[in-house]
Amino acid sequence: MENLKNNFNPISYVFEIFNKVALGLGHATEITLETFVYIFKGQINIKNTISQMFEVGYRSFPIILLTSFFTGMVLALQVGSATSNLFNEPVYIGMITAYALVKELGPVLTAVVITGRVGAAITAEIGTMKVTEQIDALYTLGTNPIKYIAVPRFIACILMVPLLTSIANIVGVYGGLVVTTMNWDVPSTVYMSDILNVMDVSTFWHGFIKSCVFALILVIVACHKGFQCSGGAEGVGRATTSSVMVSMILIIASDYFLTALLVILKIT
């Protein structure tokens, strides 16, 4: 223990971390650029892409449905309680619930849920292929692994995450409607008119742009961690855990900067 303390050099430790982060960013950028080159060239495996769209979209639908529905219900319950205390009656429930869902909670929660389900699966699949030398076999057969593995997953996430986010928004608003009408005795027409009177297309674009960026983040991190995996089954587990953790941190952190940018661009 004393030798460990004596040999510890904070400068070397910081430099080592910085070096790992720089190498990781470089590898992730390389994968992303190569993937988009294949996409723009139209070199897409349609069968694999449809399979991944089914995996990302259809198989994620039930958990997105439940998450967004109960999120909308909780929001309506909290907003109704808060406005009842402030104004002696529940008001603006539809407006606040829809705003919170469409602009923030819908994109963020959907991306986080898909990261936990799909991002982890992508990293585990690619990592397993890496440690079992299946990726090396693809090179031997003359197939580029980025084209065969990364491209379908990029396309599936970029298309399906915004679509799932839109569905989550609708389901969440309906969940809020259920609580508003049953718990606060507010007519459904009042709830919906509150939403339609204050929301416009720019509000939708605010959440849509965020969901596209979050989709890119989760698929880039998942593919990067998978292709960089090593160390057998234990390495696959470490890569999967790291992929989910890094993706969630980046999604939540980038949410602030995206919000600030969209406010500056007046996409609110």
Q: Which tens digit of pLDDT belongs to each residue from 142-189?
A: 889 999 999 999 999 999 999 999 999 999 999 999 999 999 989 999
- Buried-exposed string 145-171: b where 16+ CB fall within 10 A, e elsewhere: bbbebbbbbbbbbbbbbbbbbbbbbeb
Tell the burial category of 115 from Cβ atoms under 10 Å away from its Cβ (0-12, 13-18, 19+).
buried
Nearest Cα neighbor of 226 from 113, 108, 121, 156 is 121
Average pLDDT over residues 211-227: 96
Query: Residues with Cβ < 8 Å from 205, sequence gap 6 or more?
Result: 267
Higher pLDDT, 202 or 108: 108
Query: Residues with Cβ < 8 Å from 127, sequence gap 6 or more?
Result: 225, 226, 229, 235, 236, 239, 240
Average pLDDT over residues 63-89: 93
Query: Residues with Cβ < 8 Å from 14, sequence gap 6 or more?
Result: none
Nearest Cα neighbor of 218 from 158, 147, 167 is 158
pLDDT digits (tens, 9 = 90+) for 31-54: 999 999 999 998 899 999 999 999
pLDDT in the model for residue 4: 47
Rounded Cα–Cα distance for residues 85 and 1 (Å): 59
53 within 8 A of 43, measured Cβ to Cβ: no
Q: Which amino acid is at 265?
A: L
pLDDT in the model for residue 136: 86
Rounded Cα–Cα distance for residues 206 and 131 (Å): 40
Name the least confident of 12-21, 88-97, 223-232, 234-243. 12-21
Please state, rounded to an integer, the average pLDDT across all residues of the chain.
91
Rounded Cα–Cα distance for residues 186 and 61 (Å): 29
